[in-house]
Chains A and B, each alone.
Chain A
């Protein structure tokens, strides 16, 4: 239990986030919404990683002046940090590409702007 939330609560949240993200990516035609979907997906995966490292009642894994008791796993937190940084770069790149596409086609609709077919 994390303050009244059942321990698998975060995993349910992960499933919901990933589900929403895939729904957005498959169903929406607006490219900005597509990017939002990817961002939600990234958050879902990050939440998954952080939850994996959580230990019930654990403290932050800093050894200096650490209170007694178990610590949460540091590795998933390091992974999450890396993943967040990468996600920022990807989002910035995607948005800048959308700007270029918009300049050429005047639309952010992925169906209208599709020059290449076949």
Chain B
């Protein structure tokens, strides 16, 4: 058990990678065995994530150096800097890993039925596992170059999955848009990594943060990294790919892509807080993040209102909701240099933003899955042609209501809990921001009320007489996420106290991350 825990950081990345390349072999023999393998391996990864999380909350940061005599030996003898590939997992990383593992598990179970009619399912699961590998790698790595590699793995696998159903014309187009912006963005990340490497001759995030001089080149690298990660997480004005990509992907993939975008958000926060940290004047950077968040929030929701394609509508809401996370964490970033403001409201704003990440992953994942269930039974995504589906798809409509109330921030749902934390703390920072955030929440409610009314209520339409409830595995997948939402809604205090606040502190406390790598030397 101890060994399992020690090696769990690399196992969490290696098991999905191994399974990704085992599925083509096993898929040749039996489709059923392949499905069992994929689900079982993700369940095992979820278990590993949970035991690792428990240990991190008890004992602090885990460092895992690949190929070292002992895994926690970050800096070999006679060396001044870390030289190996190093994974460094703190409370923020494991927080993202919990999200990724849970959503991936739910989405894969859901996809078992959803993809049943498609050809080339084996390749679908291979790509899906690679996407999971990319997400885990991005959040676990302690090395800036590996972050680029895993970002590329997630982008390539994600784009291939978006374009998976090539019989639809728009699928290839959505995938193409995604890969173009991902490839250009990732190359800019590599350029920024080069700029940093040129000055400090290290790639490790902790070692770089330790050596950082804040020269002009560092600022250019920071600007590049912020632009790219803002684009990859879908913040307006760099959001143009989000609706096209999320709308055409298979529903299970849309749910995972939400988390994959959040992994880019994690990268943004990691760069701002850990790599550059409080020593640089973060007030300006904080305001840039806040403004990105406000614009995304407002423009995203206004663009969502006229949409008639149910998944495009949800995609625009995804843009809008990431605005809340940027707002919350941006406020924390802006007051990072001011301990008093940080203690009074900055920390709570960040906790609200980070809590919103996990809530968003759960309810937006659930909403995309319900939209996929509608598509599966009805055959199109046009809200104007749907109607009266609540008569036949009762369970799906209940899941939709749970997701919609949660995203709109209706008490007592978890969306309300995190949004309320954001309102309360942001109000002390700048009242106007909080007022706009509340307004956006109202428009979100209106938009989802419209979508619900269009799809589920009304008299039964003759053309949908034969529509049945979604298949069992899709219901189980949606059920996992719905159960998570209900659990978070019942005891938000528990989640905030045990999972979210350690993550917030991990971001604020740059020194702990650095000394996790560099040992005692400051």
Interfacial residues, chain A to chain B (CB-CB below 8 A): 18, 25, 31, 34, 38, 41-42, 45, 48-49, 52, 73, 75-76, 79, 82-83, 86-87, 89-90, 93-94, 97-98, 100-101, 104-105, 113-116, 118
Contact = CB atoms under 8 A, between A and B. Distances in A.
Interface string B167-201: 00110111110011001101100110110011001
Nearest to B145: A79
A48 B194 contact: yes
Contact of B152 (A38, A41, A86): A86
Given A41-B184, A45-B187, A101 B152 contact: no
Contacts of A86: 149, 152, 156, 186
A113 B173 contact: yes
Contact of A116 (B174, B193, B194): B174
Interface stretch (B158-166, B362-370, B513-521): B158-166
Contacts of B348: none
29 contacts: A18-B191, A25-B180, A42-B187, A45-B194, A49-B190, A52-B197, A75-B203, A79-B145, A79-B190, A82-B149, A86-B149, A86-B156, A90-B152, A93-B159, A93-B179, A97-B172, A97-B175, A97-B179, A101-B173, A101-B176, A104-B169, A105-B169, A113-B173, A114-B173, A115-B169, A116-B174, A116-B244, A116-B248, A118-B307
Main secondary structure of the interface of A (DSSP, over half): helix
A42 B148 CA distance: 13
A87 B187 CA distance: 9
A90 B183 contact: yes
B247 interface: yes
A34 B186 CA distance: 16
Contacts of B173: 101, 113-116
A105 B173 CA distance: 10
Nearest to A34: B180
Given A100-B163, A101-B169, A25 B184 contact: yes
A98 B306 CA distance: 30
B241 to A, nearest CB: 11
A38 B180 contact: yes
Contact of A100 (B172, B183, B186): B172
Contacts of A31: 176
Residue of B152, B159, B180, B191 with most chain A CB atoms under a 10 A cut-off: B180
Given A73-B201, A79-B145, A115-B169, 10 more contacts: A38-B180, A75-B197, A79-B194, A86-B149, A90-B156, A93-B159, A93-B160, A94-B179, A100-B172, A116-B248
Interface string B469-487: 0000000000000000000
Contacts of A100: 163, 166, 172
B518 to A, nearest CB: 19
A79 to B, nearest CB: 6
Contacts of B159: 93, 97
Contacts of B149: 82, 86
Choose among A83, A87, A89, A113 the residue with the greatest number of B CB atoms under 10 Å from its CB. Answer: A83
A38 B184 contact: yes
A97 B175 CA distance: 7
A98 B175 CA distance: 10
Contacts of B155: 90
Given A52-B198, A82-B149, A116-B244, A94 B176 contact: yes
Contacts of A89: 156
Contacts, number: 88
B170 A115 contact: yes
A58 to B, nearest CB: 15
A45 B191 contact: yes
Interface of B: 145, 149, 152, 155-156, 159-160, 163, 166, 169-170, 172-176, 179-180, 183-184, 186-187, 190-191, 193-194, 197-198, 201, 203, 243-244, 247-248, 306-307, 312
B246 to A, nearest CB: 11
A97 B159 CA distance: 10
A31 to B, nearest CB: 7
Contacts of A97: 159, 163, 172, 175-176, 179
A77 to B, nearest CB: 12
B227 to A, nearest CB: 13
A45 B169 contact: no
Nearest to B303: A118
Given A82-B149, A100-B172, A105-B169, A116 B247 contact: yes
Given A34-B180, A97-B163, A104 B172 contact: yes
Nearest to B170: A115
Given A48-B194, A86-B149, A90-B179, A41 B187 contact: yes
B370 to A, nearest CB: 22
A18 B176 CA distance: 21
Contacts of B172: 97, 100-101, 104
B203 A45 contact: no
A89 B155 CA distance: 11
Given A49-B190, A90-B156, A97-B176, A116 B170 contact: yes
A76 B180 contact: no
A45 B190 contact: yes
A32 to B, nearest CB: 12
Given A34-B180, A97-B179, A105-B169, A76 B197 contact: yes
A104 B306 CA distance: 27
A52 B306 CA distance: 50
Contacts of B244: 116
Contacts of A18: 191
Contacts of A79: 145, 190, 193-194, 197
Find the residue from A31, A76, A101 having the highest chain B CB count within 10 A.
A101
